[in-house]
Amino acid sequence: MIETIALHTRLKPGAVEEYEVAHANIPAELVAALRDAGVLNWRIWRSGEDLFHLVEVRDYKAMRHALAENPSNVVWQERMSTLLAVEDDYSGDDRGIPKVWELWERP
């Protein structure tokens, strides 16, 4: 089964440019760690300082636990902590933003 998780984060004031530069150059080791942890797709949209993520993953909680101490993710999260308004604890206990409605055409 594939889970689709929506997340919301917020940038610190003035961090937009550095955040976009960082995401234009995601380290290959981090991409590999995400894939190994079951991430199939991760998309991020930005509106001002608000970030909206849509994550397609095999098991969200397992992914969060797998990445919690992964060296490439630890380095990435340290960098992101300088840009994001709230730090992420990687507990895996969250379920993201609750879905309210969906229009889906099934084949």
Contact present, 81 and 87 (Cβ < 8 Å): yes
8 domain residue, yes or no: yes
Task: Kindly give, in sequence order, each residue whose CB lies less than 8 Å from that of residue 101, ignoring residues fewer than 6 positions away.
Answer: none
pLDDT (average), residues 38-42 = 98
75 domain residue, yes or no: yes
pLDDT digits (tens, 9 = 90+) for 6-22: 999 999 999 999 999 99
90 domain residue, yes or no: no
Contact present, 32 and 71 (Cβ < 8 Å): no
String of DSSP letters for the chain: --EEEEEEEEBPTT-HHHHHHHHTT--HHHHHHHHHTTEEEEEEEEETTEEEEEEEES-HHHHHHHHHT-HHHHHHHHHHHTTBSS-----S----SPP--------
101 domain residue, yes or no: no
**Which CATH number belongs to the domain containing residue 7 in this structure?**
3.30.70.100
Containing domain of residue 62, as a range?
3-81
pLDDT digits (tens, 9 = 90+) for 60-95: 999 999 999 999 999 999 999 999 998 666 666 778
When divided into structural domains, the chain yields a total of 1
pTM: 0.89
